[in-house]
Amino acid sequence: MKKKIAFILSMTMMAVSLAGCGTGGAESGSGSPKSAGKSQYTIGISQFAEHGSLDNCRKGFIEGLKEEGIEEGKNLTVKVKNADADTSMATQIASNFVSDNVDLICGIATPSAQAAYNAAMDQNIPVIYTAVTDPVEAQLATDDQKPAGEVTGTSDKLPIEAQLAMIREVLPDAKTIGILYTTSEANSVSSIAEYEKLAGQYGFKIKKSGVTNTSEIQLAAADLLDAADCLTNLTDNTVVSALPTVLGMAEEKHIPVFGSEIEQVRKGCLAAEGIEYVELGKQTGKMAAQVLKGEKKASEMKYETVTDSSLYVNEKAAEDLEITIPDTMKERAVESFTDISQN
């Protein structure tokens, strides 16, 4: 009888011990990042489209990690995938990264960030995003900038008021600004709303035209160019990927196109009050390094924004359009281009 009682007690203690281990494991999984304490890291980068600003984000992200001691080829393996502006492809890329059990996913642009978080949210894989204009609208954060889960990063919210003031300075007689945008892209919908809210303060009306894919851009651009005195670009991935087409059509009608960042101006947009995407990427990389090292959880870090804008000017585009750029703008421009890049 004593032996039987001793056996039962022994088995009970073992069960309690195992249960305690199980509980501890669950807490660890939902607590510290899976990479905490590791000396080697593997990350997945999901970039929504191939264009200058997003390429610069990716470049800066890698540089930011390196500055924090996490360097590709030494203690870091990087898997890079591009969705070619296809949301279903972004979803597949995110699922593959989760299957590969990477330590962290970086989503570059809103659709890739959303896909990454949806795939990783229950898998203890943190997501760090960049080039997401409105994380709240994208349901990646709450109104007070707090993460929706193990997801955080940087916003490339456009300096819209500065852009409107700059356009008015260049085109004192303009009345209507045309904007092309993708109807399914949360960034663009949010930016359009702010343009419409602020435009009247600078004497402008906004004429918008939405598309669902690149095949619709030519027709939408033609309609806008018939109704607007100028166009201003967003960081809309679908539209930016077709920027050469829009610029060519605008040039034929002698209508200026304003950009939203340096690469668009390099390619022929007249000017832009924008942000520097390499620096944005670096800022994001440093946030990712904190998560990888286990210093902070993504859920403990509010998303960050860039507060200052920089002015970029393309003097060759101005010359071709016979538009005079005010000397005051030339003086404060961070960079001026004297030719139009075809790359």
For 146, phi then psi, to 5°, come to -80, 145
Q: What is the pLDDT of residue 185?
A: 85
Structure tokens at 279: 């620096």
How many domains does the structure of the chain reveal? 2
Half-sphere exposure of 68 (CA within 13 A, CB side): 20
Lowest mean pLDDT among 2-16, 44-58, 116-130: 2-16
Q: Which of 81, 109, 280, 107 is nearest to 188 (CA)?
A: 109
CA distance 243 to 321: 17
Q: In this structure, are 98 and 212 located in the same domain? A: no
Q: In this structure, are 293 and 202 located in the same domain? A: no
Q: In this structure, are 203 and 98 located in the same domain? A: no
Handedness of CA 45, 46, 51, 56 (dihedral sign): negative
For 36, phi then psi, to 5°, come to -55, 130
Q: What is the pLDDT of residue 308?
A: 81
Strand, coil or helix: what is 58? helix
- Do 185 and 110 contact (CB within 8 A), yes or no? yes
Inside any domain, residue 107: yes
Give the domain CATH number at 188: 3.40.50.2300
pLDDT in tens, 186-241: 889 989 999 999 999 999 999 999 999 899 999 999 999 999 999 999 989 899 98
Q: In this structure, are 331 and 198 located in the same domain? A: yes
Inside any domain, residue 4: no
CA distance 222 to 336: 28
Q: In this structure, are 105 and 201 located in the same domain? A: no
- Structural domain boundaries enclosing 252: 160-274+309-337
Q: In this structure, are 174 and 287 located in the same domain? A: no
Q: In this structure, are 139 and 288 located in the same domain? A: yes
Inside any domain, residue 197: yes
- Do 238 and 213 contact (CB within 8 A), yes or no? yes
Structure tokens at 271: 């000017």
Q: In this structure, are 206 and 317 located in the same domain? A: yes
Inside any domain, residue 180: yes
Q: What percentage of the chain has pLDDT greater than the value 90?
A: 78
Q: In this structure, are 69 and 122 located in the same domain? A: yes
Q: In this structure, are 83 and 210 located in the same domain? A: no
Alpha carbon distances (Å) from 300 to 41, 126, 151, 325, 332: 21, 11, 9, 45, 38
Q: What is the pLDDT of residue 19?
A: 38
Q: In this structure, are 249 and 177 located in the same domain? A: yes
Q: Which residue has the higher pLDDT, 15 or 326?
A: 326
Inside any domain, residue 50: yes
Q: In this structure, are 170 and 287 located in the same domain? A: no
